[in-house]
C-alpha cells in the first residue's frame, strides 16, 4: 500500500498510547452530581493490550468515551498522543443502506484517503478480517460475527494507533466469540496497535490481555491490576487462563458484594 495509508507514525518507545491522570467523572447538575469515575490514573503503552474489567454500571463505557474524546472528564487529564482513537462498540453501528465495502470506504473518506485508493484499501481491510468477498454484501446479509468483522475493519480504516473496544463480542455466541478472539489477537500482533478493551467477562479479559485492570463500582476506581504473561495464542479453555480467571472472578465477586446490587 502507498505510504499515504500508513497514517501517523507509531509513538516512540517509552511514550504512551493513552495516559489518564487523576480522571474523575460525575454526571448531573453541580451540587447534585453523581460521581461515576474517581481518580483513575492509567497508562496504555504503545502496542499494549489492556482489558478494563468491571461489573455492569461501574463506568467502563464512560471511561472509554472519555478516552475517545466523546466526553470530557470532570477532573483530570487524558492524553492520546497518536491522535484520535478508533472506537468499536457491542452494536456494529454499520450503515444498513451501504455495503460492507462502502461502510469501510466511508471511514477512509473521513480520514482523507483519495478516492482511487479507497476500494483497494477496503478490500485489504476486509481480507485482514478474513472477509474477502464480502465487499458487496449489505449488512442484513451478514451474520452477527461477520458484522463485527466489518465493524473491526471499519475501526482499522481509521488508522489510529489506539483501538478502543467496548464489549465488541458480547452479543455473539461462544464459538463465534472464540474465533473473533483469535482474529483480534492475530490482527493486534500484526499491526502493533494499542488496544483498550472493555468487558465484564473475566475469561475474555484473561484470554486477550497483557494486562487486566479491575474497576470497582460506585464510583469506579482502579481496584487491582494483573500482568498476564501466559503466551499467546491462548485458548479460553487453557488451564492457566482458567486458573487466573478464578482468582480475578473472586476479586470481582467480592467487589460486587461490597456494593450490593447486581
Ligand X SMILES: Nc1ncnc2c1ncn2[C@@H]1O[C@H](COP(=O)(O)OP(=O)(O)OP(=O)(O)O)[C@@H](O)[C@H]1O
Q: Which residues bind Mg ion (CB under 5 A)?
A: 61
Give the interface size with ligand X as a residue count (CB under 6 A): 11
CA 170 – CA 177 distance, rounded (Å) = 8
> In the complex with ligand X, which residue's Cβ is closer, 58 or 125?
58
Which of ligand X, Mg ion, none does residue 85 bind (CB under 5 to 8 Å by kind)?
A: none
Out of 46, 47, 59, 101, the residue judged to bind ligand X by CB under 6 A? 59
Round the CA-based radius of gyration of the chain to a whole number and report it.
Answer: 19
Out of 24, 61, 176, 185, the residue judged to bind ligand X by CB under 6 A? 61
| Shortest reach from residue 60's CB to Mg ion, in Å | 5
Using rule CB under 6 A, residue 207 touches ligand X: no
Place of cell 481480507: 127
Out of 10, 57, 81, 144, the residue judged to bind ligand X by CB under 6 A? 57
249 Cβ contact list (under 8 Å, min separation 6): 202
| Shortest reach from residue 56's CB to ligand X, in Å | 4
Helix or strand or coil: residue 115? helix
Out of 54, 82, 101, 145, the residue judged to bind ligand X by CB under 6 A? 54
Using rule CB under 6 A, residue 185 touches ligand X: no
Site string for ligand X, 13-32 (x = CB under 6 A): --------------x-----
C-alpha cell at 111: 480520514
List, as one string, the DSSP characters of 16-70: -SEEEEEEEEEESSTTSPEEEEEEEEEEE-TT-EEEEE--TTSSHHHHHHHHHTS
**Which string of b and e fits 40-76 if b means at least 16 CB within 10 Å?**
bebebbbbbbbbbbbbebbbbbbbbbbbbeeeebbeb
CA 224 – CA 243 distance, rounded (Å) = 17
Using rule CB under 6 A, residue 60 touches ligand X: yes
Which of Mg ion, ligand X, none does residue 27 bind (CB under 5 to 8 Å by kind)?
A: ligand X
Residues that bind ligand X (CB under 6 A): 27, 36, 54, 56-62, 200
Amino acid at each position: 500500500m502507498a505510504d499515504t495509508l500508513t497514517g501517523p507514525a507509531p509513538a516512540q518507545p517509552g511514550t504512551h498510547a493513552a495516559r489518564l491522570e487523576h480522571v474523575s467523572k460525575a454526571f448531573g447538575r453541580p451540587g447534585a452530581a453523581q460521581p461515576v469515575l474517581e481518580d483513575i490514573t492509567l497508562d496504555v503503552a504503545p502496542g499494549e493490550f489492556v482489558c478494563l474489567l468491571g461489573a455492569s454500571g461501574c463506568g467502563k463505557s464512560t471511561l472509554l468515551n472519555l478516552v475517545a474524546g466523546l466526553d470530557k472528564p470532570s477532573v483530570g487529564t487524558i492524553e492520546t498522543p497518536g491522535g484520535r482513537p478508533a472506537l468499536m462498540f457491542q452494536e456494529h453501528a454499520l450503515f444498513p443502506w451501504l455495503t460492507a465495502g462502502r461502510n469501510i470506504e466511508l471511514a477512509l473518506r473521513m480520514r482523507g484517503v483519495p478516492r482511487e485508493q479507497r476500494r483497494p484499501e477496503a478490500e485489504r481491510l476486509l481480507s485482514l478480517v478474513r472477509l474477502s468477498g464480502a465487499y458487496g454484501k449489505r449488512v442484513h446479509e451478514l451474520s452477527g460475527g461477520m458484522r463485527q468483522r466489518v465493524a473491526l475493519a471499519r475501526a482499522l480504516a481509521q488508522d489510529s494507533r489506539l483501538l478502543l473496544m467496548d464489549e465488541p463480542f458480547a452479543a455473539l455466541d461462544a464459538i463465534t466469540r472464540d474465533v473473533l478472539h483469535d482474529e483480534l489477537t492475530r490482527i493486534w500482533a500484526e499491526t502493533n496497535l494499542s488496544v483498550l478493551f472493555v468487558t465484564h467477562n473475566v475469561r475474555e479479559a484473561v484470554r486477550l490481555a497483557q494486562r487486566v485492570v479491575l474497576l470497582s463500582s460506585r464510583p469506579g476506581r482502579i481496584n487491582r491490576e494483573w500482568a498476564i504473561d501466559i503466551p499467546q495464542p491462548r485458548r479460553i479453555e487453557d488451564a492457566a487462563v482458567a486458573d487466573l480467571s478464578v482468582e480475578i472472578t473472586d476479586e470481582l465477586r467480592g467487589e460486587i458484594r461490597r456494593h450490593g446490587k447486581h
